[in-house]
Amino acid sequence: MMNQMFFVGLPYLALFLLVAGSILRYVWNPFSYSALSSQFLEKNALLWGTLSWHIGILIILLGHLPAFLVPELWKSLTSNFVFLLTVETVGVMASILCIAGLIILIVRRVVSGKLQQVTTVIDILLLVLILLQVVIGLSMALMHRWGAVWSTGTTTPYLWSILTFRPDISYIEEMPLLVQAHIVMAWIILMLVPFSRLVHIFSFPFQYFFRPPQKVVWVSERRKEHDDSLVVVQESRRDFVKGALGLSVAGALLSVGVLDKLAGFFYKPEVSVEEESKLLEQKLKRLEQTAEERTYQLERMKKEFIYVSRLNQLDIEKGKYFIDYLMRPALAFLGKDGLPILISAKCTHLGCTVGSELDNQGRILCPCHVSYFNINTGMPNQGAPALDPLPHLGWVIMNANNEIILEQDPSGKRYGNVNVSSIDKSNRVFIAKKHKE
Ligand code: HEM
Ligand code: FES
C-alpha cells in the first residue's frame, strides 16, 4: 500500500502538479516565469555558488539521460570497465561540485539580509531538498556501486512504466531504501518546481536569437556622464547559440523517446473480455499467493526453531537454499570441519539471490551484477558492485531427542562441548529464533 502511494500515486500527482501548475502560473503571472535574478543584490557568492551548481547539476542530469533513453546501448557501453569507471568518477565529481554550489547558495540566501527580502520559504525548501537529493544520489553511487549499469534494468523500466501509464513498481519494490528515497525525492522536487523560481527552466529564451545584444548595468545620471562604456556594448552571441543548440538536441532526443512510448500506449491493441478476465485471474492468484506468504511468515515467526536440513544432506560445494525468519533466502553448506555454514543468500548490493554453487575459490556468485562472495568470510571480491559481506546465520544441531548438542551464533561463537567427529550425521540442523537479528 505504501509502495503504491510513493511509487504510483506520488508520481502522477507530481506530474499533474508540474504540468497544471506551470501552465496556470504562466497564464496568471507570466512575469514570474523567471529565476528572479538576485545578482544586483549580491554577486560574489552567487558567482561561485551558481557556477558550481549549474555545471554539477547539468552533468548529473545529462548523465541520467542515456540510461533512460537508450538503455540497451548504455548497458553495452558500460560493460567496458574503463568507460564505467570514467562515467562513475565524473558523476561523483559533479555531485561534489553540486553540493559545494548548493551549500554556497543556501548560505547566501540565509545570511544576506537583502536576499532574505526576495526569498520565499519554498526557495529555501527546494534548495535544501535538492541538496538532500544530491547527497542521497552520491551515497547511492558509492554504496550500491555501478548504478550506470543496474539502473537500466530497474529504475529505467519503472520510469517508462509511469510515463506510459502502465505503472509497474515490481522493478523497484525490493530495492534498497536509499534508491527508493532517491526516487521519492525526485517526485517531490518535480512537484514543487512550478511553485518556485526553478520554473525558469521552462522559460527558454528564444528571443535571444533575434534581438540585438544587451548588457544590463546600474545607471544613474551621474554615472552616465563619467562612463563611456555604458553607451553600446557589443558582445558575441556565439557561445549562447552553441549552448542553446546542445540543449535543443538533448530536449529533442527526450521528446522523441517520450512520444514514441506514448504512441505505444494509445495505439496498443484492444484488450478482449477473455484477456481482461485472464489478467484479473492472474491478479487474484498473486493476491492469494501474498496472503499465503504472510500466513507462512507469521507461523515462522512463532517458531523457536526452523528446520534447515539433516547434517548428512549438506554438501561442501553446493548449498541448500532455505528461508530465514525474515523470509529472506539463505544457503546452508557443509564446512570443511564437518559443521554447517549458514549464510544469507540476499546479495548486499541490490538484493538479488546469489547462486548456490561454489567456484574453485570457494565463492558463490550473485549473477545480477557479478559479485563473488567467499562463504567462509562472507566478503565480496575486490571491485565487486557489492561492498558489504553476506552475513552468516547462527545454527543449532539437534539429536533425535530434540536436545541441542551444538550451537553457533551468527558471530561464529560456539556453545556446547562435543567432539565434532562423534556427531551423528543424521542429526538435524536448525536456525534459532534467539539468533535472529
Ligand atoms: C531531482 C532529480 C535528480 C537529481 C538532482 C539526482 C541526482 C543524482 C546524483 C547527484 C547522483 C550521484 C551521481 C554519481 O555520483 O554518479 C545520482 C545517481 C543516480 N540517480 Fe539520480 N537524481 C535525480 C533523479 C533521479 C531519478 C528520477 C532517477 C530514476 C528513477 C534517478 C536514478 C539515479 C541512479 C540509478 C543513480 C546512480 C547512478 C550511478 O551510480 O552512476 N535519479 N542522482
Ligand atoms: S544485486 Fe548487484 S551484484 Fe548482486
Distance 102 CA to ligand 1 centre (A): 16
CB of 87 closer than 6 angstroms to any ligand 2 atom: no
- Sheet order of strands, 340-344 included: 320-323, 329-334, 340-344
What is the pLDDT at residue 232? 42
Instruction: Please tell me the CATH code under which domain 305-435 is placed.
Output: 2.102.10.10
Please check the confidence at residue 38 and state whether its pLDDT lies above 80: no
> Which of 182, 196, 258, 349 is the pocket-test mutation for ligand 1 (most atoms within 8 Å of CB)?
182
CB of 347 closer than 6 angstroms to any ligand 2 atom: yes
**Residue with CA nearest ligand 2 atom 3:** 369
* Grid cell of 171 as nine digits: 522493478
CB of 364 closer than 6 angstroms to any ligand 2 atom: no
Distance 157 CA to ligand 2 centre (A): 18
> Which of 18, 60, 97 is the pocket-test mutation for ligand 1 (most atoms within 8 Å of CB)?
60
Lowest mean pLDDT: which of 157-171, 199-213, 298-312, 365-379? 199-213
Please check the confidence at residue 37 and state whether its pLDDT lies above 90: no
CB of 172 closer than 6 angstroms to any ligand 2 atom: no
CB of 75 closer than 6 angstroms to any ligand 2 atom: no
Q: How many Å apart are CA 163 and CA 262, to the nearest integer?
A: 8
Q: Which ligand is nearest to the CA of 365?
A: 2
Q: Which of 293, 311, 299, 313 is nearest to 433 (CA)?
A: 299
> Which of 328, 352, 364 is the pocket-test mutation for ligand 2 (most atoms within 8 Å of CB)?
352
CB of 91 closer than 6 angstroms to any ligand 1 atom: yes
Decide if 326 contacts 423 (C-beta within 8 A): no
Please check the confidence at residue 240 and state whether its pLDDT lies above 60: no
Q: What is the pLDDT of residues 187-234, one digit of tens each?
A: 999 999 888 877 766 655 555 555 555 555 656 666 656 555 544 444
pLDDT above 70 as % of the chain: 77
**Residue with CA nearest ligand 2 atom 2:** 369
pLDDT above 90 as % of the chain: 45
Distance 252 CA to ligand 1 centre (A): 21
Mean pLDDT of 242-250: 61
Distance 208 CA to ligand 1 centre (A): 32
Q: How high does pLDDT run on average in the chain?
A: 83
- Confidence class for position 69, pLDDT limits 50, 70, 90: very high
The residue to which cell 562441548 is assigned: 417
Pairwise pLDDT comparison (110 vs 358), residue with the higher score: 358
> Which of 64, 78, 131 is the pocket-test mutation for ligand 1 (most atoms within 8 Å of CB)?
64
Decide if 194 contacts 142 (C-beta within 8 A): no
Pairwise pLDDT comparison (271 vs 431), residue with the higher score: 431
What is the pLDDT at residue 236? 46
* Residue ranges, CATH 2.102.10.10, the chain: 305-435
Please check the confidence at residue 35 and state whether its pLDDT lies above 70: no
Distance 377 CA to ligand 2 centre (A): 18
Distance 248 CA to ligand 1 centre (A): 22
* Residue ranges, CATH 1.20.950.20, the chain: 2-227+251-266
- Confidence class for position 23, pLDDT limits 50, 70, 90: confident
2-227+251-266 is classed in which CATH architecture?
Up-down Bundle (1.20)
Q: What is the pLDDT of residues 366-402, one digit of tens each?
A: 988 889 999 999 999 988 889 999 999 999 999 999 9
Distance 68 CA to ligand 1 centre (A): 11
CB of 368 closer than 6 angstroms to any ligand 1 atom: no
- Confidence class for position 235, pLDDT limits 50, 70, 90: very low
Full 3-state SS string of the chain: CHHHHHHHHHHHHHHHHHHHHHHHHHHHCHHHCCCCCCCCCCCHHHHHHHHHHHHHHHHHHHHHHHHHHCHHHHHHHHCCHHHHHHHHHHHHHHHHHHHHHHHHHHHHHHHCHHHHHCCCHHHHHHHHHHHHHHHHHHHHHHHCCCHHHHHHHCHHHHHHHHHCCCCCHHHCCCCCHHHHHHHHHHHHHHHHHHHCHHHHHHCCCCHHHHCCCCCCCCCCHHHHHHCHHHCCCCCCCHHHHHHHHHHHHHHHHHHHHHHHHHHHHHCCCCCCHHHHHHHHHHHHHHHHHHHHHHHHHHHHHHCCEEEEEEHHHCCCCECEEEECCCCCEEEEEECCCCCEEEEECECCCCCCECCCECCCCCEEEECCCCEEEECCCCCECCCCCCCCCCCECCEEEECCCCCEEEEECCCCCEECCCCHHHCCCCCEEEEEHHHCC
- Confidence class for position 275, pLDDT limits 50, 70, 90: confident
Say whether pTM exceeds 0.85: no
Q: What is the pLDDT of residues 249-268, one digit of tens each?
A: 666 666 666 666 666 656 66
What is the pLDDT at residue 127? 87
